Amino acid sequence: MAGIGAERLSLPFNSAPGDAPAFADPATHPVPAHWNRLITSSWDSQHYIALALRGYEYCAPRVELGPGHLPDDDPGCEVNFFPGYAFVGGWVAFVFRAPVDYALLGVSLACSWLLMFLWTGKEMREALGSGAAWLSLLYLNAFTSAYSLATVQTEPLAMCLAMATFVSIERRWYLLGALAAGACSIVRPTGIATSLAFALALLVMTVRDRPAVQIIWRRAGLMALSGWGLIAFLLFCQIRFGDALVYVHARARYYHCSPSLLSLLHPSYRVIARSIWAGPNEAVWLATALVWFALGHRSAMSGFRLGGKVFWYMLFVTTVGVGAISQVECGFSGMSRYLLLALPLFFAIAAATKDKPLAIAFWLVASLGHYWAVNACYYVSGKIPRLWEKCAIQPAS
């Protein structure tokens, strides 16, 4: 990230070393000063930093809300972003008395490290084989959007919680798995995939095992618990704003596009065409991911036990499905980053190529080339209006 900033865009890692992100007037000003001073802070980082600094304190009271005054009308109300990652970063900043952007970056780096640590643990090595486990981790780090592992974004925390949930299932630590899955559901919208994957895996194992009634009820409670984060967020939004789905409604107004299964089944050809040729070529990476998964999923999943196999299949299908449905009207914007949470994708690529050195080399070169030349540059250039022109790409939106 520092290399891309310095070599391609002439930007330092920290453009304001003595000025941490802060609000001059948090009640009226929507953007914290110096929010993008770090090369790793771009796009949605602004909103997570704002949430970490002021939460929902400056949202209008419920009695003032109505058809003429929506929650997202207020500049100090960030209801179109999930708060989990921001609140963790705010807590870290408070405990360690650190600038909030460094705290959030620290959370991302710690989660990325833990993700990779668990990725090379015995559960993964026994299922995939040591060689394929390491190769799949290499593919993750070489993927076009892998720069997200070192940014002020939600992907590292969500991916870490998903992997922790899988390990908990394998070790039969079901309570820990439910807590991790529930936490993932409040980090980002596609985090609900982890909750659903955990619940389905536990359901399938319960049907197979046919345990005592007491254990069945206990597991049913754990299935419900696996969505605790999203449930808590929906309840908060209903109580605070009078609209449990305020995130969905605010997001549609913010991005001017809405989730649509119909649009996915019958998309606008103009939008799809732009998502193919315009950077960062989101539709190309979505199609490529689907092809790779189709080629390698059977071999990749054959070594997992029933619970893990159900978990990973459900995680992949839900992550890709939710991401595609929510972003199709936006030209699949951000889809290459959403694919990072579809962790079985990288298992499948490894399984399909593990005995093919030329295929390994080709995919690594293609992924890293796009990573360096297009996707990471596109992210870093989002810090400053029209800076993307220095990346020599035309964005899709």
pLDDT classification of 234: cutoffs 50, 70, 90: very high
Residue of 52, 84, 72, 28 lying closest to 240 (CA atoms): 72
> Which amino acid is located at 287 in the chain?
A
Structure tokens that stand for 184 in this block = 């993932």
Structure tokens that stand for 120 in this block = 């090379």
Query: How does DSSP assign 32-56, residue by residue?
Result: -BTTT-BTT--TTHHHHHHHHHHTT
Chain-centre distance of CA 356, in angstroms?
30
Contact indicator for 35, 115 with CB cutoff of 8 Å: no
Predicted local distance difference test score (pLDDT) of residue 55: 93
Structure tokens that stand for 132 in this block = 């394929």
Using CA of residue 314, residue 316, residue 320, residue 326, what is the dihedral sign? positive
Q: Quick check: helix, strand or coil at residue 198? A: helix
| Helix locations, 84-227, DSSP H | 84-96, 100-119, 122-128, 130-142, 155-170, 174-184, 192-209, 213-225
Q: Quick check: helix, strand or coil at residue 66? A: strand
Other C-beta atoms closer than 10 Å to the C-beta of 18 total 7
Structure tokens that stand for 54 in this block = 């002021």
Please give the Cα distance from 251 to 249 (Å, whole number): 5
Predicted local distance difference test score (pLDDT) of residue 330: 84
pLDDT, one tens digit per residue, over 314-357 is 999 999 999 999 888 888 889 999 999 999 999 999 999 999 99
pLDDT-above-90 percentage for the chain: 74
pLDDT classification of 76: cutoffs 50, 70, 90: confident
Please give the Cα distance from 230 to 228 (Å, whole number): 6
Task: Check whether 240 has a pLDDT greater than 70.
Answer: yes
Q: Tell me: cis bond preceding 67? Omega within 30 of 0 counts.
A: no
Residue of 95, 110, 70, 93 lying closest to 22 (CA atoms): 93
Name every residue whose Cβ is closer than 8 Å to that of residue 357 and which is 6 or more positions away in sequence.
Answer: none
Model pTM above 0.85: yes
Name every residue whose Cβ is closer than 8 Å to that of residue 146 and which is 6 or more positions away in sequence.
Answer: 140, 340, 371
* 300 vs 327, more confident: 300
> What are the percentages of helix, strand and coil residues in the chain, rounded to 5?
70, 0, 30
Q: Quick check: helix, strand or coil at residue 22? A: strand
CA angle at residue 47 from 330 to 379, to 5 degrees? 55
Contact indicator for 341, 333 with CB cutoff of 8 Å: no
> Which amino acid is located at 103 in the chain?
A
Chain-centre distance of CA 148, in angstroms?
9
Contact indicator for 329, 271 with CB cutoff of 8 Å: yes
Please give the Cα distance from 77 to 50 (Å, whole number): 9
Predicted local distance difference test score (pLDDT) of residue 397: 56
Task: Check whether 247 has a pLDDT greater than 90.
Answer: yes
Please give the Cα distance from 112 to 118 (Å, whole number): 10
DSSP 395: B
Please give the Cα distance from 91 to 83 (Å, whole number): 12
Task: Check whether 123 has a pLDDT greater than 90.
Answer: yes
